[in-house]
């Protein structure tokens, strides 16, 4: 299952942070088939069975899968992670980099039980700053393919006032700014940097973050979505194959709305606005 590549091998790779999560795993499976990328996936070891299942599916698609169990959400972890990637593949082989880390703390900004400094720093490092740290590391080691696609994942929460979720909203807003600036800086080199914003999906992280409210979240999403349902994570992954392929080459610095028209602010009115 884990087959490190020789440096002479010309095939290209997808590097996915958070491969054991729903989004990271679905994207790995999709891009292994189209455009046909080998996959290096980092995970923190919380869901090892899920990570191995993704690697097995990638292998069944005829691509190589390398799993790396490590933290990825700090500057130091990014340096170590990039070094681990460099040990496995040659320069210029990362065609697609996907930042799919979910590691947020919930709570309000003020009050005796308000969010602690360490929670703020952990959330921003994992869900926003590490995006920049990894991109810089990949550039420093010349690991990106000439027309590499760099992708962050987001949701409509940056535009909402979801109770107890200010850090998630703030990190997604910061990630949007980082994407736009990186796209401007790296565009002349041929790289493409985008942010894919999709609507409500019940992932393991969502179940953990909003424990006891999953059914309500699902019910409300059906009410605010023109399609009357949540997006399937496979639909999100299928769109990533477009961004990773030749037809996605003109997307750059974009916040791509893949919400299906969800009116996110209704979450505030229907779920979280009670005080």
The pLDDT assigned to 3 comes to 42
pLDDT attached to residue 128: 97
Q: Which of 15-24, 133-142, 251-260 has the highest mean pLDDT?
A: 133-142
Per-residue pLDDT band for 203 (boundaries 50, 70, 90) equals low
Name, in order, each residue with C-beta under 8 angstroms of 245's C-beta and a sequence gap of 6 or more: 34, 35
Give the global pTM.
0.88
User: What is the per-residue pLDDT for 56?
Assistant: 97
According to the model, what pLDDT value does residue 269 have? 45
Q: What is the pLDDT of residue 274?
A: 43
C-alpha 177/C-alpha 226 separation (Å) is: 28
Contact 102, 203 (CB under 8 A): yes
153-201 per-position pLDDT tens digit: 998 888 777 778 899 999 999 999 999 999 999 999 999 999 999 977 7
| Residue 46 or 36, more confident | 36
**What is the secondary structure of 154-219 as a DSSP string?**
E-GGGGS--TT-HHHHHHHHHHHHHHHHHHHHHGGGT-EEEEEEE-----HHHHHHTTT-HHHHHH
pLDDT given at position 234 = 94
d(CA 265, CA 243): 28
| In the chain, % of residues over pLDDT 70 | 85
Whether the predicted pLDDT of 16 surpasses 90: yes
Give the pair of three-digit tokens for residue 154: 């987001």
Do 233 and 26 meet the contact criterion of CB atoms below 8 Å apart? Answer: yes
Residue 5 DSSP class: P
Q: 4 pLDDT exceeds 60?
A: no
Q: Which domains does the chain have, with CATH numbers?
A: 13-272 (3.40.50.720)
Query: Residue 83's CB: how many other CB atoms inside 10 A?
Result: 11
Residue 5: per-residue pLDDT: 44
Considering only CA atoms, which of 233, 249, 203 is closest in space to residue 35?
A: 249
Note the pLDDT of residue 6.
42
> What local confidence, expressed as pLDDT, does residue 275 receive?
40
Q: Which of helix, strand or coil describes residue 138?
A: helix
Rounded to whole angstroms, how far apart are CA atoms 14 and 31?
8
Compute the distance between CA of residue 223 and CA of residue 230 in angstroms, rounded to an integer: 10
């Amino acid at each position: 299952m884990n087959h490190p590549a020789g440096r002479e091998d010309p095939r290209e790779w997808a590097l996915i942070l958070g491969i054991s999560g729903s989004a990271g795993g679905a994207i790995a499976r999709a891009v292994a088939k189209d455009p046909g990328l080998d996959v290096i996936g980092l995970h923190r070891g919380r869901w090892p069975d899920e990570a191995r299942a993704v690697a097995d599916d990638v292998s069944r698609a005829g691509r190589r899968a390398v799993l790396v169990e490590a933290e990825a959400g700090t500057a130091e972890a990014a340096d170590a992670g990039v070094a681990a990637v460099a040990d496995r593949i040659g320069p210029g082989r990362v065609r697609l980099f996907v930042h799919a880390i979910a590691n947020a703390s919930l709570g309000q900004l003020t009050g005796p039980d308000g969010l602690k400094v360490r929670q703020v720093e952990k959330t921003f490092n994992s869900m926003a700053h590490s995006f920049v740290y990894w991109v810089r590391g990949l550039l420093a080691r010349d690991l990106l393919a000439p027309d590499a696609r760099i992708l962050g994942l987001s949701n409509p929460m940056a535009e909402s006032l979801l109770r107890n979720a200010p850090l998630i909203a703030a990190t997604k807003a910061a990630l949007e700014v980082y994407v736009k600036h990186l796209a401007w800086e790296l565009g002349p080199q041929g790289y493409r940097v985008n942010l894919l914003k999709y609507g409500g999906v019940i992932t393991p992280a969502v179940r953990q973050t909003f424990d006891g409210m999953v059914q309500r979240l699902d019910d409300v999403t059906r009410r605010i979505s023109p399609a009357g349902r949540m997006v399937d994570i496979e639909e999100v992954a299928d769109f990533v194959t477009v961004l990773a392929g030749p037809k996605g080459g003109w997307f750059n610095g974009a916040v791509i709305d893949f919400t299906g028209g969800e009116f996110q602010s209704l979450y505030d009115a229907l779920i979280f606005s009670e005080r």
